[in-house]
Structure 1
Amino acid sequence: LTLLSLTCNLLATLPDTLADCTDLTALHISSNRFRLLPRCVDALVGLRWLWAANNELIGLPTSLAGLAHLYELQVNGCADLRYPPPDVVVEGLDAVRAYLL
């Protein structure tokens, strides 16, 4: 499994066992009800694309900066996102990483 799309499902969490999907490179969880990124995302070290737009996210974990292969992060449309601040998020993934470190 390299791509998992769970968009538009009203999800607020994912099972921790998703961390066992070591070949996962793309995770689509946009348009759900996540307030925090699921913990299992931290273990997806090969993840390159994380689309989490249009959720109820309030913050991004500092561990996100440790996903060295992450190439694209989409969190647009997350009106409640406060950490990092919106002015950092609009600058892109490099700015988000620097803020989280």
Structure 2
Amino acid sequence: MYSVKFHKEVEKDLEKLDATSRILFTKTLGKILQSPELGKDLRNTGGIDLSGYKKMYFDGKKKRIVYKVKEKEVIVYIISVGKREKMDVYKEAFKRK
């Protein structure tokens, strides 16, 4: 199983989630750590280049976890968590990478 590392701003992302969404995030994170390849590959869309990163939905398809798999270190690096609305979660991920 992979271990997890969080970008320093992810804590703020998680604080914005309600209690139910936090529970769903935790469950989805567990799935990612077991099988990180399950996430959908991201690419360069609209000038937001997240090639090499993946996304996983939670809370239906309302929210996303954006992450990178670091195979050599056996780490999943969570870079952004939030709503897709206005591409916000992806814009934040792009700024943080």
> TM-score, normalized by length of structure 1?
0.25
Higher relative contact order structure (alpha carbons within 8 Å, sequence separation ≥ 6): 2
The structure richer in strand per residue is 2
> TM-score, normalized by length of structure 2?
0.26
